[in-house]
A and B are shown apart, each in its own frame.
Chain A
Amino acid sequence: MDLNEVLKSTFLITPELSLILTGMILMVLDPFIRNRFKKELFWITALGLLIGFALNLNRFRYTESAFAGTLSLDEFTAYFNIIFIIGALLATVISRDYIEKTALKHGEYYALILFSTSGMMLLSSAREFISLFLCFEIMSVSVYILSGFNRRSPRSVESGIKYLVLGGFSSAILLYGIALIYGASGSVFLDEIASRFNMENPLYIAGTALILAGFVFKIGAFPLHQWIPDIYEGAPMTVTGFMSVGVKAAAFAVFLRVFFEGFSTLEVQWMQILWVISVFTMTIGNLAAIVQRSIKRMLAYSSISHAGYALVGIVASYGEKELGLSSVLYYLFAYTFMNLGAFGTLAYLSLKDRECEMLEDISGLWQRKPLVAIALGIFMFSLAGIPPTIGFFAKYRVFLSAIRAEFYWLAIIGILNSVLSAYYYLRVLVYAYMREEQMEFPAPQPLSAFAIAILSLGALILGIFPLYSWELAIKAAGSFIP
Chain B
Amino acid sequence: MLVWIVVAPLIGVLVNGVVFASGLWKKLLNGDEHTEKRIVSFVGCGVILASAVLSTLAFLKLRLTDERQIIQELFVWIPSGELKIGFEFLFDPLSCVMSLVVTWVSFLIHVYSIGYMHEDRSYSRYFTYLNMFVFFMLLLVLGNNFPLMFVGWEGVGLASYLLIGFWYEDAEKAYAGRKAFIVNRIGDFGFILGIFLIFFVFGSLNYQEVFSRALSPEFMDAIPQAVITTIALLLFVGAVGKSAQFPLYVWLPDAMAGPTPVSALIHAATMVTAGVYMIARCNVFYSQSPTAQMIVVGIATFTAFLAATIAITQNDIKRVLAYSTVSQLGYMFMGVGSGAYVAGMFHLVTHAFFKALLFLGSGSVIHALGGEQDIRKMGGLRRFLPVTSITFLIGTLAISGVPLFSGFFSKDEILGALYEKGYGICWFIALVTAVLTAFYMLRLYILTFEGKPRITEDLKHHIHESPPSMLIPLVILAVLSVAGGYIGIPEFMWKSIGIEGENLFERFLSSSILSTEQITHHALPHGSLTHWGLVGLSVLAAFVGIALAVYMYAITPLLPERLTEKPIVSILYRGSYGKWFVDEIYDLVFVKTFVNLSKLLALFDLKVIDGAVNGIAGAIRALASVLRTAQTGLLRFYAALMAIGVTAILVYMILSARF
Report A's interface with B, CB cutoff 8 A: 158, 161-162, 165-166, 169-170, 173, 199, 202, 205-206, 208-210, 212-213, 216-217, 222-224, 226-227, 230, 266, 268-270, 272-273, 276, 291, 323, 370-371, 374, 387-388, 393, 397, 400, 404, 434, 465-467, 470-471
B79, A213: Cβ atoms under 8 Å?
A: no
B78 touching A173, Cβ below 8 Å: no
Would B653 and A269 count as touching, CB distance under 8 A?
Answer: yes
Report whether B631 and A162 are in contact in the complex, using a CB–CB cutoff of 8 Å: yes
Report the separation of the CA atoms of residues A206 and B641 in the bound assembly, to the nearest whole angstrom.
19
Q: Which residue of A lies closest to B647 (CB)?
A: A213
Distance (Å) between the CB of A474 and the closest chain B CB?
8
Among B75, B650, B658, residue most surrounded by chain A Cβ atoms (within 10 Å): B650
* A388: nearest chain-B partner, CB-CB: B151
Which residues B134-155 have CB closer than 8 A to chain A?
Answer: 151, 154
Mostly, the B contact residues are: helix
Minimum CB–CB distance from B417 to chain A (whole Å) comes to 37
Within the complex, the shortest CB–CB distance from B202 to chain A, in Å, comes to 15
> Once bound together, how far apart are the Cα atoms of A393 and B147, in whole Å?
12
A434 near B641 (CB under 8 angstroms)?
A: no
Of B75, B635, B654, the residue contacting A205 (CB under 8 A) is B654
As a 0/1 sequence over residues 368 to 405 of chain B, the CB contacts with chain A under 8 angstroms (1 = contact) are 00000000000000000000000000000000000000
Chain A residues with CB under 8 Å of B532's CB are none
Contact yes or no, B78 A393, CB < 8 A: yes
- Asked if B648 is at the interface (CB within 8 A of a chain A CB), the reply is yes
26 contacts between A and B (CB under 8 A): A162-B635, A162-B638, A165-B639, A166-B635, A169-B642, A205-B654, A206-B654, A209-B649, A213-B645, A223-B641, A223-B642, A223-B644, A223-B648, A226-B642, A230-B634, A266-B657, A269-B653, A269-B657, A270-B653, A272-B652, A273-B656, A291-B605, A404-B81, A465-B75, A467-B76, A471-B79
Are A387 and B151 neighbours in the complex by a CB distance under 8 Å?
yes
Binary per-residue interface labels of chain B (576-600) against chain A in the complex, 1 for a CB within 8 Å, 0 otherwise: 0000000000000000000000000
Q: Is there a chain A Cβ closer than 8 Å to B4's Cβ?
A: no
- Name the residue of chain A whose CB is nearest to the CB of B78: A466
Name the residue among B635, B644, B649, B656 with the largest chain A CB count within 10 angstroms. B649
Contacts of A161 in B (CB 8 A): 635
B453 CB within 8 Å of chain A: no
Q: Please name all residues of chain B whose beta carbon is closer than 8 Å to the beta carbon of A173 when the two chains form the complex.
A: 646
Q: Is the CB of B22 closer than 8 A to any CB of chain A?
A: yes
Distance A161 CA – B77 CA, assembled complex (angstroms): 47
Contact at A467–B649, with CB atoms within 8 Å?
A: no
Contact, CB under 8 Å: A226 / B168: no
**Minimum distance in angstroms from A321 CB to a CB of chain B:** 12
Of the candidates A166, A199, A370, the one whose C-beta lies within 8 Å of that of B642 is: A166
Q: Which 10 A-B residue pairs are closest in the complex by CB-CB distance?
A: A223-B645, A209-B653, A213-B646, A209-B650, A205-B657, A226-B638, A269-B656, A213-B649, A224-B645, A269-B657
**CB of B138, distance to nearest CB on chain A (Å):** 15
Say whether B174 faces chain A, with CB atoms less than 8 Å apart. yes
Q: Are A212 and B649 in contact (CB under 8 A)?
A: yes
Given A223-B649, A269-B657, A434-B174, residue A470 in contact with residue B79 (CB < 8 A): yes
Prevailing SS type, chain A contact patch: helix
Q: Are A397 and B639 in contact (CB-based, < 8 A)?
A: no
What B residues does A269 contact at CB under 8 A? 653, 656-657
In the bound assembly, the distance between CA atoms of A205 and B217 in angstroms comes to 54
Set of chain B residues within 8 Å of A212, measured between Cβ atoms: 649, 653
Query: Of A158, A224, A266, A270, which contacts B631 at CB under 8 A?
Result: A158
Q: State whether A434 touches B80 (Cβ < 8 A).
A: no
**Are B639 and A370 touching (Cβ within 8 A)?**
no
Question: What is the bound-complex CA distance between A95 and B83, given in angstroms?
Answer: 41
- Kindly provide the distance from the CB of B637 to the nearest chain A CB, expressed in whole angstroms: 8
List which B78-92 residues lie within 8 A (CB) of chain A. Answer: 78-81, 83
Please measure, in the bound complex, the distance between the C-alpha atom of A173 and the C-alpha atom of B646, giving whole angstroms.
Answer: 8
CB pair B642 A170 closer than 8 Å: yes
B23 at the interface (CB under 8 A from A): yes
Q: How far is the CA of A212 from the CA of B23 in the complex (A)?
A: 52
- Residues of chain B contacted by A206 (CB below 8 angstroms): 650, 653-654
Q: Which residue of B lies closest to A422 (CB)?
A: B185
Give the distance to chain A from B169, nearest Cβ to Cβ, in Å. 8
Give 1 or 0 for each of B603-624: 1 = CB within 8 Å of chain A CB.
Answer: 0010000000000000000000
Shortest beta-carbon distance from A481 to chain B in Å: 14
User: A467 contacts which of B75, B638, B658 (Cβ < 8 Å)?
Assistant: B75
